[in-house]
């Protein structure tokens, strides 16, 4: 089966000369999809589907890197944006929507006593780190997961070009579900850790009371515990993963699906820590931008009305069940994570690297009207029929991948380039 990406490639050639990577985001660039064997630009989205520049239609399992939570062009959210547009976007003083959305978050999220808004996840995770340092008078940070592009975090990864060595030395990574790895950091830096910032859920759920042990360690050592709920927020529970697992951090950050694609993030937390916002510098022109806040108010209100997490759990569990029933190559492919957000994991083959196999799978999914990066970023717009289509494609493609791998022919069937990793996080 052939599929054309002529217009995407034409626009890529034009755009790369004026925009590095021809994209604002690594995970939306030619690095993330097999170059020349996948689309590079999207022009339209509705519900769970998108259309690229060459008029190819896909069921979308990327969903704007999880920021589209209800589905593209959700009517209630779009109506709220249009209504606010009639009276203005950004103003010279705060808008009451700031307080209205903050009240929604305080009502839903266990740790939320006060709220501040920004635009991206990196904004609020960095604000959390600055608050923790101000509150504790310490400088070192322990991290687990992905927390954005700012120096304090990215310096701890292989994408550390441009980060001062002195900054890198202040951040220490620990391993999810390995409490001893965090204990070692605390032991090696006594009375130096300002914060433990972590994604409360990863490839695997917490085991053996892991989150409770992290909470206890932080409390005992005077460390601010920050849950990065940019992804987990609203997806597993309307109160975040902290509500689902029953472990309350001191601060938490939210973003992604909070406004169904409109740019908004939030830092929430204990009042005694959050009040230091009056002293530290965390200030931006667009934190109170009204269209995104109107979208967030409509999105959260609809999530409450439709029991948004229940739908994701329902179709996500169905995906896991069907996947495990039909998977013809469990030695190569498996599914990990809890139902609302799962990962297609791929192992090394007999003759093919995991990256080559992943690239070919993404390519073939595109040919069959599925857009994905290796994770199932479900939205409210996805239905069981979408899952059935995906799983049947998996069964066919996994069988072929296994055959090509055994014969050493998989590389010959890749029409484009292999995907490139930015760095390994999870």
What is the tens place of the pLDDT at every residue in 380-402?
Answer: 999 999 999 999 999 999 999 99
44: annotated active-site residue = no
> Scanning the structure block, which residue is given the tokens 């009040």?
275
Catalytic residue, from 28, 256, 302, 358: name it. Answer: 256
pLDDT at 425: 75
Write out the two tokens for 160: 């550390």
Sheet holding 49-52, edge to edge: 42-46, 49-52, 57-60, 370-371
256: annotated active-site residue = yes
What is the tens place of the pLDDT at every residue in 204-244?
Answer: 999 999 999 999 999 999 999 999 999 999 999 999 999 99
Phi-psi region of 120 (alpha: psi -120 to 50; beta: other; left: phi over 0): beta
**pLDDT reading at 421 higher than 90:** no
Residues of the chain with CATH 3.90.1150.10: 6-60+308-413
Average pLDDT, the chain: 97
Gyration radius of the chain over CA positions:
22
Residues of the chain with CATH 3.40.640.10: 75-306
pLDDT at 424: 75
CA 305 to chain centre: 24
Distance CA 58, CA 48 (A): 8
pLDDT at 284: 95
What is the tens place of the pLDDT at every residue in 319-342?
Answer: 999 999 999 999 999 999 999 999
**pLDDT classification of 296: cutoffs 50, 70, 90:** very high
Distance CA 277, CA 325 (A): 51
**pLDDT classification of 183: cutoffs 50, 70, 90:** very high
The CATH T-level fold of domain 75-306 is 3.40.640
CA distances from residue 185 to 10, 143, 167, 181, 399 in whole angstroms, order as listed: 50, 10, 17, 7, 45
State the average pLDDT over residues 167-182. Answer: 98
- DSSP class per residue in 260-277: TTS--EEEEE-HHHHGGG
Threshold 0.85, pTM exceeds: yes
Q: 369-403 burial string, b = 16+ CB within 10 Å, else e? A: ebbbbebbbbbbbbeeebbeebbebbbebbebbbe
Distance CA 206, CA 319 (A): 21
Residue % of the chain over a pLDDT of 70: 100
**pLDDT reading at 2 higher than 90:** no
Catalytic residue, from 61, 146, 176, 394: name it. Answer: 146
Catalytic residue, from 52, 60, 123, 228: name it. Answer: 228
The answer for residues whose C-beta is within 8 angstroms of residue 124's C-beta and 6 or more apart is: 116, 118, 230, 253, 254, 255, 265, 266, 267
228: annotated active-site residue = yes
Domain 6-60+308-413 part of CATH 3.90.1150.10: yes
């Amino acid at each position: 089966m052939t599929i054309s990406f002529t217009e995407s490639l034409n626009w890529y050639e034009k755009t790369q000369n004026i925009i590095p990577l021809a994209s604002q985001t690594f995970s939306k660039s030619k690095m993330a999809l097999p170059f020349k064997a996948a689309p590079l630009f999207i022009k339209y989205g509705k519900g769970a589907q998108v259309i690229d520049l060459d008029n190819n239609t896909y069921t979308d399992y990327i969903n704007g890197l999880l920021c589209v939570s209800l589905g593209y062009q959700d009517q209630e959210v779009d109506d709220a944006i249009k209504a606010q547009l009639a009276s203005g976007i950004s103003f010279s003083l705060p808008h009451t929507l700031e307080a209205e959305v903050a009240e929604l978050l305080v009502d839903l999220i266990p740790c939320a006593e006060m709220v501040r808004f920004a635009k991206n996840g990196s904004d609020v995770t960095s604000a959390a780190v600055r608050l923790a340092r101000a509150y504790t008078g310490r400088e070192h940070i322990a991290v687990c997961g992905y927390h954005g592009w700012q120096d304090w975090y990215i310096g701890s990864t292989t994408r550390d070009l441009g980060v001062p060595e002195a900054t890198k030395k202040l951040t220490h990574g620990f391993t999810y579900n390995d409490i001893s790895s965090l204990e070692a950091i605390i032991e090696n830096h006594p009375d130096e850790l300002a914060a433990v910032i972590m994604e409360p859920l990863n490839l695997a759920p917490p085991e053996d009371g892991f989150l409770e042990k992290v909470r206890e360690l932080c409390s005992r050592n005077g460390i601010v515990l920050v849950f990065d709920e940019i992804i987990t927020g609203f997806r597993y529970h309307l109160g975040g993963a902290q509500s689902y697992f029953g472990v309350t951090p001191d601060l938490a950050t939210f973003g992604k699906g909070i406004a169904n694609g409109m740019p908004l993030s939030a830092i929430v937390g204990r009042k005694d820590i959050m009040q230091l916002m009056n002293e530290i510098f965390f200030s931006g022109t667009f934190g109170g931008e009204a269209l995104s806040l109107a979208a967030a108010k409509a999105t959260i209100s609809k999530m409450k009305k439709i029991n948004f997490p229940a739908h994701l759990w329902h179709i996500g569990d169905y995906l896991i069940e069907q996947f495990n029933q039909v998977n013809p190559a469990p030695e190569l492919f498996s599914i990990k994570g809890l139902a609302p957000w799962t990962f297609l994991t791929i192992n090394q083959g007999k003759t093919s690297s995991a990256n080559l196999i992943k690239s070919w799978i993404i390519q073939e999914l595109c040919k069959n009207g599925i857009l994905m990066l290796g994770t199932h970023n479900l939205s409210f717009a996805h239905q069981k029929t979408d899952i059935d289509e995906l799983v049947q494609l998996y069964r066919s493609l996994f069988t072929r991948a296994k055959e090509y791998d055994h014969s050493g022919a998989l590389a010959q069937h890749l029409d484009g380039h292999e995907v490139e990793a930015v760095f390994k996080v999870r």
